[in-house]
Amino acid sequence: MTTEKAIVDVRSQLVEVARDILAHSKADTIRPASGIMKLDSRLYSDQANHEKECQNLFKKIPLVLAASCELRESGQFQTMQIAGIPILLVRDKHGVAHAFLNSCTHRGAQLAKGSKARFTCPYHGWTFSQEGLLVAITLNDLFGDIDFKDYGLVSFPVTERAGLIWGTLDPSSSNDLDTFLQGFDMFLETFGLDSWRLAEKRILDGTNWKLAIEAHLEFYHLPVLHKNTFGPNTSNKALYYFWGPHQRLIQPTDSKENLADEHNLFKIADKPDEEWPTEAMTRGEWIIFPNVSINLFYDGGPGILISQVVPGANVNESQTIQTFLTADELEGDARTKVKDLSDFLEFVVSQEDLATSEKQQQALQTGLLHEVTIGRNEAGIQHLHKWINEIVSTGALDQLLSYPRKWTAP
């Protein structure tokens, strides 16, 4: 499947949403979903369902694999696993990013060793180039006749866009990035991630991937679960804006607080909207379906936290990859401040969110709680599950072609 790239009037859409945020903030209201949603608890605990999600979501649709700046230089590489698939990411000498199955084409060993020029299998020494080509094998004269061209690494389709590396973990998938995004990437482009720098990276173990990502999709739990970290008076309300399966959520702005903050919408509300800075209109959490949160923060300077929730092969396994980016190279106090913020957010997610979801999963695995209920004020979670069901049932993105290229609400 291919589609033309959607062209979106980004600024007018951001202004429209900003006005809506201001209106709801002044009225102290939110826009809840039309009703509650009840889900079969087996959606979280059943291994067969998990494998279907991995097959039709995580192996069929484009996924964010990394920020482009993580592989800034030629020869830089990193490894990861998604849904049990070992992945090798590398930027070649021409500056092109690649994603390969991290598996030697001899007998499947993972390529644990690498250099700026090549990757060598630790089992028998077969060697591959940055472009995934087989370039040498040990005891070539004794091994037997093979055509090196037939033994390159399994390659996944990769695109770089909006400062992110996207890949599809099934080379035969017909789903393309333009169909998947429908112009959502044009909003992500406003962050300017191409020029940002990697500051910190953390990998946190968790349980079922849906429980892990759901914690990013509602603020209902903030003053309760995070009372000792964010505080008991933290707002538990969220405004939601949907773009196909993707979404954005933000807390209503308090007009009386943080007026010294140049990114507070109330500080700029009386100015003509053509003077509204983009940074003030892009605050909040941006969710790339099905598993990525991008959170902009301005504490100590512009920064971004990218949280990738990736499923394991088992229904009870996931990882949350926290990648902290900053606009500038950090030194001294600024470096310390971002390190402290990274430590804080790692603690919040690992010791509060993921620790809680671990206990949730233990209970759901018993089969004694037959349903979970998603409230009207948890519209982002409802939206996630509607699209999971829609796409898992088909493995295709055709329904996105008719979706309006504008923000919608619950």
Residue 329's pLDDT band (cuts 50, 70, 90): confident
The per-residue pLDDT of the chain, averaged, comes to 92
Which fold would CATH assign to domain 64-172?
Answer: Rieske Iron-sulfur Protein (2.102.10)
Q: Is the pLDDT of residue 407 over 70?
A: yes
Q: Is the pLDDT of residue 349 over 70?
A: yes
- Residue type for position 180: F
pLDDT per position as a tens digit, 46-85: 999 999 999 999 999 999 999 999 999 999 999 999 999 9
Cα–Cα distance list, 270 to 125, 264, 279 (Å) = 66, 12, 17
Q: Is the pLDDT of residue 2 over 80?
A: no
Higher pLDDT, 324 or 254: 324
**Residues 247, 184: contact at Cβ < 8 Å?**
no
**Residues 296, 304: contact at Cβ < 8 Å?**
yes
Name 340's Cβ contacts closer than 8 Å, sequence gap at least 6. none
Strand partners, 100: 88, 155
C-alpha of 210 from chain center: 13
Residue 257's pLDDT band (cuts 50, 70, 90): low
pLDDT at residue 201, as a whole number:
96
Phi first, then psi: give them for residue 177, nearest 5 degrees.
-65, -40
pLDDT at residue 334, as a whole number:
79
pLDDT at residue 330, as a whole number:
74
Counting beta carbons within 10 angstroms of the beta carbon of residue 396, is it exposed (0 to 12), middle (13 to 18) or buried (19 or more)? Answer: middle
Q: Is the pLDDT of residue 253 over 80?
A: no
CATH code for the domain defined by 1-61+174-410: 3.90.380.10
The structure tokens listed for 73 are 């230089």
Higher pLDDT, 331 or 226: 226
In 168-299, the DSSP E strands lie at: 197-206, 239-243, 246-250, 284-288, 292-297
- 345 three-state secondary structure: helix
Region 355-377: what's the mean pLDDT?
97
Q: How many CB atoms lie within 10 A of CB 80?
A: 18
pLDDT at residue 328, as a whole number:
79
Residue ranges of the chain that CATH labels 3.90.380.10 = 1-61+174-410
pLDDT per position as a tens digit, 8-44: 899 999 999 999 999 999 899 999 999 999 999 999 9
pLDDT per position as a tens digit, 109-141: 999 666 678 999 999 999 999 999 999 999 988
| Dihedral sign of CA atoms 230, 231, 233, 236 in order | positive
pLDDT at residue 266, as a whole number:
78
Q: Is the pLDDT of residue 347 over 70?
A: yes
Residue ranges of the chain that CATH labels 2.102.10.10 = 64-172
Q: Is the pLDDT of residue 300 over 60?
A: no
- 7 three-state secondary structure: coil
pLDDT at residue 51, as a whole number:
97
CA separation for the pair 163, 190 (Å, rounded):
10
Contacts of residues 224-232 at CB distance under 8 Å and 24 or more positions apart, as own/partner, are: 225/352, 225/353, 225/356, 226/348, 226/352, 229/344, 229/347, 229/348, 229/352, 230/348
pLDDT at residue 262, as a whole number:
65
Q: Is the pLDDT of residue 151 over 80?
A: yes
Q: How many CB atoms lie within 10 A of CB 362?
A: 12
C-alpha of 53 from chain center: 16
CA separation for the pair 199, 341 (Å, rounded):
11
CA separation for the pair 351, 226 (Å, rounded):
10
CA separation for the pair 63, 168 (Å, rounded):
6
Percent of the chain residues past pLDDT 90, beyond the cut: 77
Least confident of 75-79, 333-337, 377-381: 333-337
CA separation for the pair 401, 183 (Å, rounded):
11
pLDDT at residue 237, as a whole number:
95
